[in-house]
Structure 1
């Protein structure tokens, strides 16, 4: 198994320069193959990144300047690092808290485990805050949930007409072009039938 090194550098727009990242990374890893992207980090659908990911083999190492160069979404980033780890691919983040972190080492793995835990905690805190806001709005009578479109309202009213003509709820929903669950929800929320 041969060990190869790949530098991955990315900037968000074509107007930005890769030079500062590449100067640091090439200085530390002069033999590494360089792959670049000039695209947003919001998505992993980037030509350079896709090429890199398809070329990686067990024993390879990807070197990036900082985590934001690989992606902005913590969950996707952690899933990617986990996938690479399972495939035997290492990741070196040259600037994580001012010093390099290598996932091929125990310390590097620990750093990413901590990062995963922090990411999970942030998601849970955000979910709790959202739920508190919903609960408060409900208590004040301001929470309305997802509002139905006029098209759905019209279809539910049509289904109610079909019910009045003796159709079953399932048949009425189908005839009106809505799901049975939508009709049941309409009936519950409007306290009819």
Structure 2
């Protein structure tokens, strides 16, 4: 039997669902561990979706754990554990956006950033005038649903305050990445923070 060529394997991977991708990674690990051509675009242009983050990390412990918990667990997790899955998704996104950087919590001179949100009901959000929305939401944000939710606000430096605003593992190496993650992955943040 003829072995599929590299381009055929990659073509199949691009159209496969998550189960199919898992099978292809298991059958052809050498294909998916080879280094791809370097994509020199900024990380914020390469990571637009959760799947982009998974693909960027490749065979990473967080991605593998996510797949075991969210995709392969039998019986599947119920809604009471959804926050665990969403947290793991945010960990994957943070790892992909940080491109290998991890915070050094022993270094007080290293800034660590995280997105900051206001929690508003839809009615509260709708009652804001345009200037207030701009101040509260920042230059870009996401709206809330009818049951209330999260409005993206800004980014803050983790070590500049004494309160706990974000999990240490969801810190970013720059203010720009924290702002981007808060805007681009707002629905994940909302699901994690307020359900």
Same fold at TM > 0.5: no
TM-score of the pair, normalised by structure 1: 0.23
Higher-Rg structure is: 1
Whose strand fraction is larger, Structure 1's or Structure 2's?
A: 1
TM-score of the pair, normalised by structure 2: 0.23
